[in-house]
Structure 1
Amino acid sequence: MSLINSAPKHSKLLRLLEPKKPSSFLLLRHLCAEPSSQPPKQDDEAIEATVTQALELLQQTPHHDWASSQPLHTLLFPSSNPSPSVLFQITRRLPSHSAALNFVDYLRSNSALQDVQVLSSAFLAVLNLAKRESNSPETLSELYRVSKEWKIPLNVDAAVLLVRSFGMAEMVDESALVFNELDPSLKSTYVRNVFIAVLLKDGRVDDALKVLEEMLQPESEVPPNDGTRDAFFHGLRMKKRNGRWLSIEEIVQLVVRFGEHSVFLNSIMLNKLIVQLCRSHQIDQAWDFLRELMKLGAPIEVSCFNAILSELGRKRDVNRMNSLLREMKDRDIQPNIITFGILINSLCKLRKVDAALEVFKKMSEGNDGISIEPDVITYNALIDGLCKVGRQEEGLAMMKQMRSVNGCAPNTVTYNCLIDGFCKGGEIDMARELFDQMKNEGVMPNVITINTLIDGMCHHGMINSAFMFFNEMQGTGLRANVVTYTTLITAFCNVNNIDKAVELFDQMLKSGRSADAIVYYTLISGLTQAGRMNDASNFFSKLKEAGFRPDIACYNTLIGGFCRTNKMDKAYEILKEIEDVGMRPDAVTYNTLITYFSRLGNFSVALSVMKKMRQQGLVPTIATYGALMHACCLAGEIDEALKIFRNISKSKLFPNTIIYNILIEALCKNNKVEVALSLMNDMKVKGVKPNTTTYNAMFKGLKEKHSLEDAFKLMDGMIIDACNPDYITMEILTEWLSAVGEIDKLKTFLKGFEVSPSDAALETLQA
């Protein structure tokens, strides 16, 4: 048999298959219950007497005279069939393997010995003696050569001893030689099990598979047994530097083929395989594997179904979850608390809380003959689900119900779910009450509790209260983590209290906490928004010193800040660094630069930046076009602005109200009211709704042109569009219509309208 050295390929899968016995070749001595090939026992006293007498004669007679010793001949060969048990015992008790080998030589030279199998038993004893001596592998190798020379066939025990011993000595080629030369009738399941273990220990997976393949054939004369299973899967787990690892697909296939011979992994190992399939996102294969195992009669337990159910829950596949539950019911596999927990948790995550409550009710009331008392995990999943959909009061009621169940008291997770729910709902006072309640009941809050409350306070504008609570908790020994500090730092940055944010950052470092990249990004952004670019640059340097690599968003933040503070040289430095680190500017980078040059009125540079942007394969946004158009309009280049406007459609973007307003305002200011009116009509045709700013720009332009009839039409259109006039509209129309004696028109126009504040500021921000 040719042994193949497989290329090593590491895999974590088989580490899951925990052995049930110590990792040792001693395990293989018990791989099967096959009877030993040692001679059958005879009368103990008679055997002992013969053995003792023979040993005395052998000791008293030089070994070259044994053949001529009549007393020895008479004792050992009372008939043509000497006792195998006696000869085995005598050989085994000789002082060394060499003395034992001389005795075997004496036996085989005696014509009274007719059965060569008797010599096999005696030779086994020689091998046993040699194995216990020093330099045993070499000795055993020589003895195997002698057995072939003397034509003494190995019996099963002798073959196993040699295969195993050579394997332990890492002489696997010799193990293979013994196995290959063994009489086919002796290559039993037991022998094959030992040989498979030797091959796997040496990493020769493919050779082991060849041996196993013969055993796994449908009509195999040497079918696998539990020993084969243990030898094979234990062997695959052994950590070797060489030898490939089987893929999960190969293992699953082998498990099924073992099952066809009614040999199965235990339920724990089967469950681990199914879990591994699920974690590898092979849910279909896991399901098919489970069905095949059930068809073969494997010891499937509810945990295997739970593994698949859990993965289906993560995928939010409710239909297949229901299908799996029906299959469990059809096969009379009773769900347990974990099954119900998976269902309830999955439904809650899908926001199907009422369905989860229905499952909870069935579980508690004992429908279908099943009555399972919920545990704290089940209650917590329901409470969290209720709070996530804004039903905090029902969550509180569930906690009260929870207290009535023996051994099911609310824990930290229970309170954290409720506190989070009330914080999300803006009921910070109730969240604080629950925090005090949990402490009074002896339930210890953790850092998640603290972070939840601080985050809730910050999100609802209670930053000072959050900071006071933070200091209070620090005094009680509840240590904040980086999430706590990040929440507070972000909150103070958002209200432009940068000094406090920096102070908290320094405090975090002094307390032994390591800042993560998010904290640095938050401070860089806050300092940039506050216009403190020197400080932002300082934190940018600290970010890199801490071993973090800035992302493009961080670079863009700095570029935007330098542009806003007119420090273009610094912005260029950042652009150069982006290039040096192997990154590429993104659309935000280009838009920031285009907006900057547009604001300066340098639209030629802005257009050049846009051209490069396109060359990089980046698509300009509506905001990009809006910035360019605004720059052109400021520079009085209305035709260029119109050209850019026409390019918007070519780029498959759709102009919005802000884009139209930029052009309409510029056209009206430049006495091109007719073009502006045409543009406004185009706007309506394309489904873009004009706003108050649009109408105000047109009213100003029409007033300058004294186009009263067009103004009346626009007033009617404003009513149709339900676009409320603001104070600017009122100033324009009141002054104009009063001057031309059309105050009644204004009164009619204002009927049903409530004058709204100007939305111009909002529009500017959107642009």
Structure 2
Amino acid sequence: MSIASRVPICSKLLRLLKHQNPQNHAYFLHSSIENPSNAESPKIDLSSSSSIVTQIVEILKSNDNESWKTNQELSNLLFSDSNSLSSNHILQITRRLGDSSTALNFVEHLRSNSPCPDDNLLSSAFQAVFELASRKPSWKEKLFDLLNTSIEMGVPLKVNSVILFIQCLGRVGMTEKLMMMYNELESQLKITHVRNALIDQLLRNGCFVDALQVLDDMLQPNVDFPPNSNTAAIVFSVMLEARKHGKGLSWEELVELALKFGRHRVFPDTVLLTQWITELCRARKIDMAWKLLIAFMELDGPVEVAPYNALLAGLAKDRQFKRMEELLEEMLAKGISANVVTLGISINHLCKSFKIDEAINLFEKMRNGKISAHIEPDVIIYNTLINGLCKVGRAEEVLAMMRKMISEGKCSPISSTYNCLIDGFCKVDEVERSLELFDEMEKQGVQPNVVTINTLVGGMCRDGKAGNALKFYRQMEGKGLKGNKVTYTTLISGFCGVNNINKAMELFKEIRQTCALDAIVYYSLISGLSQAELMADVESVLFEMKSAGFLPDIRCYNVMINGFCKKNKLDKAHQLLEEMKEVGLEPDSITYNTLISYFSRTGDLKPARRLLIQMVENKIAPTVVTFGALIYACCRAGELDEAMKIFKKMSSSSRTPPNTVVYNVLIDALCQKNELGKALSLFEDMIAKGVGPDSSTFNALFKGLRDENKLDKALELMGKMTELDCHPDYITMEILTEWLPAVGEDDKLKQFVEVYR
């Protein structure tokens, strides 16, 4: 018989359930279960009756069903008033018969031979028959046959049997028959646990609309069968997972659904709520996360600290620091104690906002129990504070904090603690202090790692001590601590920076034998070679880079174009420009500025101007470097009027105001053209706009004033230079020492020099 032809049997089942007598109907409701896997009906006391159950099972298994009728011992055990077998005993006996056919025979035996047949016992036995049949490969036909048999026998089904049908049909996607079955049930039979099982199967099969329709009935005010914690767990776990993949309800609808559950005093558990808040924050729906958490608080839901921490982390990531403070206050007002995670999130956000003093203050308050219960900070919090202090250059305070960690003994520094501090001293150019800390680290038994090595190697290379960095790395290698691509990349860049290209090439060959190269290693070498103007070597490394499957990025192309321009190999630079376009890379402001600067240096204004027009057409905003290069080119070509036009255009723009270099180029050009008045006017404009002059500015003016013998103005400018704390260079001193003594102003010169001495 096909499944389709068995639909009428389902209807018969439902009619049977509808027309139970009041006693059976009441029993049906009493047999409902809070969780389908854990029945609420009375538990079997196997300690007192296990021997009876075992005896009955042994007799049933060792005799055929015809012999059961004449077996007096079996009759006594089953039907004697002294034994009083419960429905749970009958359930266990039937389950242990092993197959549904034998179990069905046992049901018939009970129905036919019991002096007083009990529907409750028969229903329990039939539940076991359904369970046994559902485990067989041909369960679909078997279950419907058994359903038909139960109807013919007049045996009412238990809730567990109904739920078993729901689970079996759902497992094979027969959701239409599920809904037909559910819709024909009387309202009294649509209890919470049946609905939970139905919703679970509908959601598993992606039938969100049907599941939400069933759920909506449960969420109405004053319903007989409201949702419970199982309903929430089923619905929200599936809905959240679906939302991650862009399916199911929107975030807004999910939050409203959660609030409906809350009004029935049903809340997601802490783990689920924390996950929910986290996902909302990831989706940049922080206002909804806030609304959800605050609403649960107002409904007096059992909210713990973990969801607050999740929202705090989301607010911190979104830099909503004021709301973090508000949330912390709300949390403490509700009597929810902060924990070490709360402290860590709050301190981390304060450090990232460079509010280090506030972070330290919060750290001390929580540690002393002035805000919440006493919280003993862990090493992560110490590391966060140490990292924050290092970033603002307060390495000495960091050292004191670490000493305190060690002396108190409650939280020992680990490798990352030392790494933060070592990095902090390296960044303030105190590499020697970093090396002392490294020695202390080893003495304290804290194992350095590759981050430690890379930090120290990077610090020494930035300090121009690439040789020392390599020596240190070789020592670490001797101790069995290997570096990685970052180590080699740093060393290669370091040796390129001190123009030791041969050593950089040696290290490049070495890394090819020890590590799998990436684009950054190639880029570092290409950058160093380009700066050293070794463009033949650049082409060789570029070829190898492409052969290894890596393509240069825009930064790499810009470095190479700049290198070829410095070598006056414009054809090569143009070739790279075309190659960029072929691989889908558009020139950026640095590309244009490099080429414009090249043509400006060579005095070729036409292509420089064409590039500026092209730059604007491609919607790339010219920078101060762009305009500065053009102004320099105009000045070199003697086109001062054109240079001043560009300058005025810059001055009228808030996006690219002229800087010190631009003013210096113009002031120097004006002084050379004997237009000292305009040069001094530009100097005054420079001061008025807050652009700081440097020694080059004053040098150009001193030369112009000397040529026109404007001594009083020169002495005035010397005073201005002192006032602005602008230090003279050797050119300044050369101009003044040649000029002032010759005009009898030795004392003025001595006073000027003494200020800087």
Instruction: Normalising by structure 1, report the TM-score.
Output: 0.75
Report the Cα distance in structure 2 between the residues aligned to 1:243 and 1:422, rounded to whole angstroms.
47
1:229–1:265 Cα contact (<8 Å) kept:
yes
2:366–2:372 Cα contact (<8 Å) kept:
no
Q: Say whether residues 1:277 and 2:276 are aligned partners.
A: no
1:32–1:226 Cα contact (<8 Å) kept:
no
The Cα of 1:530 is off from its aligned counterpart by: 0.6
Residue in 2 that maps onto 1:754: 753
Instruction: State which drifts further: 724-733 or 433-442.
Output: 724-733
Rate the CA distance shift 1:509–1:239 in 2: closer, same or farther, 3 A: farther
The Cα of 1:469 is off from its aligned counterpart by: 0.6
Rate the CA distance shift 1:433–1:119 in 2: closer, same or farther, 3 A: closer
Deviations 1:123-151 (A, max 9, x none): 76775675465522023345657878999
Within a 5 Å distance, the mapping from 1:393-432 to structure 2 comes to 393-405=396-408, 408-432=411-435
The Cα of 1:235 is off from its aligned counterpart by: 5.3
Residue in 2 that maps onto 1:321: 324
Residue in 2 that maps onto 1:506: 509
The Cα of 1:86 is off from its aligned counterpart by: 13
Residue in 2 that maps onto 1:4: none
Rate the CA distance shift 1:543–1:127 in 2: closer, same or farther, 3 A: same
Corresponding residue to 2:484 among 481, 493, 501: 481
Report the Cα distance in structure 1 between the residues aligned to 2:234 and 2:423, rounded to whole angstroms.
52
Rate the CA distance shift 1:100–1:552 in 2: closer, same or farther, 3 A: closer
The Cα of 1:257 is off from its aligned counterpart by: 2.6
Residue in 2 that maps onto 1:600: 602
Within a 5 Å distance, the mapping from 1:197-596 to structure 2 comes to 197-233=200-236, 244-315=247-318, 317-367=320-370, 370-405=373-408, 408-511=411-514, 513-596=515-598
Instruction: Give the gaps of 5 or more residues in structure 1.
Output: 1-25, 37-43, 63-75, 77-82, 758-767
Report the Cα distance in structure 1 between the residues aligned to 2:649 and 2:511, rounded to whole angstroms.
51
Aligned to 1:30, the other structure's residue is in SS state coil
Deviations 1:265-317 (A, max 9, x none): 32222222223333434333333322222333333222222333334444555
The Cα of 1:191 is off from its aligned counterpart by: 1.4
2:312–2:345 Cα contact (<8 Å) kept:
yes
Report the Cα distance in structure 1 between the residues aligned to 2:418 and 2:755, rounded to whole angstroms.
45
2:435 alignment partner AA: R
Aligned to 2:753, the other structure's residue is in SS state coil
Q: Say whether residues 1:169 and 2:172 are aligned partners.
A: yes
Within a 5 Å distance, the mapping from 1:617-696 to structure 2 comes to 617-638=619-640, 640-641=642-643, 644-645=646-647, 648=650, 653-656=656-659, 658-663=661-666, 665-666=668-669, 673-674=674-675, 677-678=677-678, 680-681=680-681, 684-685=684-685, 687=688
1:338 alignment partner AA: V
2:337–2:372 Cα contact (<8 Å) kept:
no
Deviations 1:573-597 (A, max 9, x none): 1011111112221222222222222
Rate the CA distance shift 1:281–1:125 in 2: closer, same or farther, 3 A: closer
Rate the CA distance shift 1:702–1:195 in 2: closer, same or farther, 3 A: closer
2:258 alignment partner AA: V
Report the Cα distance in structure 2 between the residues aligned to 1:490 and 1:728, rounded to whole angstroms.
33
1:577 alignment partner AA: E
Rate the CA distance shift 1:191–1:482 in 2: closer, same or farther, 3 A: same
Rate the CA distance shift 1:285–1:31 in 2: closer, same or farther, 3 A: farther
Rate the CA distance shift 1:100–1:630 in 2: closer, same or farther, 3 A: closer
Residue in 2 that maps onto 1:722: 721
Instruction: Normalising by structure 2, report the TM-score.
Output: 0.76
2:395–2:424 Cα contact (<8 Å) kept:
yes
2:107–2:122 Cα contact (<8 Å) kept:
no
Residue in 1 that maps onto 2:14: none
Residue in 2 that maps onto 1:19: none
Corresponding residue to 2:36 among 15, 29, 32: 29
Deviations 1:494-537 (A, max 9, x none): 111122122222222211x2333332222111101111011112
The Cα of 1:204 is off from its aligned counterpart by: 1.7
Residue in 2 that maps onto 1:743: 743
Residue in 2 that maps onto 1:6: none
CA RMSD after TM alignment: 4.9
Rate the CA distance shift 1:618–1:85 in 2: closer, same or farther, 3 A: closer
Equivalent residue pairs, number = 690
Report the Cα distance in structure 2 between the residues aligned to 1:107 and 1:273, rounded to whole angstroms.
52
1:485–1:508 Cα contact (<8 Å) kept:
yes
1:164–1:175 Cα contact (<8 Å) kept:
no
1:205–1:243 Cα contact (<8 Å) kept:
no
Instruction: State which drifts further: 545-554 or 648-657.
Output: 648-657
Corresponding residue to 1:614 among 605, 613, 616: 616
1:545 alignment partner AA: S
The Cα of 1:749 is off from its aligned counterpart by: 6.5
Q: Which has the higher contact order (CA 8 A, sep 6+)?
A: 1
1:277–1:285 Cα contact (<8 Å) kept:
yes
Corresponding residue to 2:193 among 158, 172, 190: 190
2:150–2:156 Cα contact (<8 Å) kept:
yes
1:202–1:240 Cα contact (<8 Å) kept:
no
1:754 alignment partner AA: V
2:36–2:160 Cα contact (<8 Å) kept:
no
Report the Cα distance in structure 2 between the residues aligned to 1:507 and 1:212, rounded to whole angstroms.
66
Deviations 1:365-385 (A, max 9, x none): 444783344433344344444
2:551 alignment partner AA: R
The Cα of 1:721 is off from its aligned counterpart by: 3.8
Report the Cα distance in structure 2 between the residues aligned to 1:499 and 1:364, rounded to whole angstroms.
55
Rate the CA distance shift 1:379–1:550 in 2: closer, same or farther, 3 A: same
Aligned to 2:523, the other structure's residue is in SS state helix
Rate the CA distance shift 1:727–1:756 in 2: closer, same or farther, 3 A: farther
Aligned to 1:332, the other structure's residue is in SS state coil
1:347–1:355 Cα contact (<8 Å) kept:
yes
Report the Cα distance in structure 1 between the residues aligned to 2:584 and 2:298, rounded to whole angstroms.
57
Residue in 1 that maps onto 2:18: none
2:308 alignment partner AA: F
2:674 alignment partner AA: V
2:100–2:130 Cα contact (<8 Å) kept:
no
Report the Cα distance in structure 2 between the residues aligned to 1:552 and 1:584, rounded to whole angstroms.
8
Report the Cα distance in structure 2 between the residues aligned to 1:317 and 1:85, rounded to whole angstroms.
58
Report the Cα distance in structure 1 between the residues aligned to 2:304 and 2:322, rounded to whole angstroms.
22
The Cα of 1:87 is off from its aligned counterpart by: 12
Rate the CA distance shift 1:355–1:203 in 2: closer, same or farther, 3 A: same
2:174 alignment partner AA: M
Instruction: State which drifts further: 688-697 or 410-419.
Output: 688-697
1:490–1:501 Cα contact (<8 Å) kept:
yes
Instruction: Give the gaps of 5 or more residues in structure 2.
Output: 1-32, 44-50, 70-78, 80-85
Aligned to 1:548, the other structure's residue is in SS state coil
Report the Cα distance in structure 2 between the residues aligned to 1:727 and 1:124, rounded to whole angstroms.
103
2:702–2:714 Cα contact (<8 Å) kept:
no
Report the Cα distance in structure 1 between the residues aligned to 2:301 and 2:730, rounded to whole angstroms.
81
2:332–2:372 Cα contact (<8 Å) kept:
no
Report the Cα distance in structure 2 between the residues aligned to 1:28 and 1:220, rounded to whole angstroms.
20
Rate the CA distance shift 1:563–1:298 in 2: closer, same or farther, 3 A: same
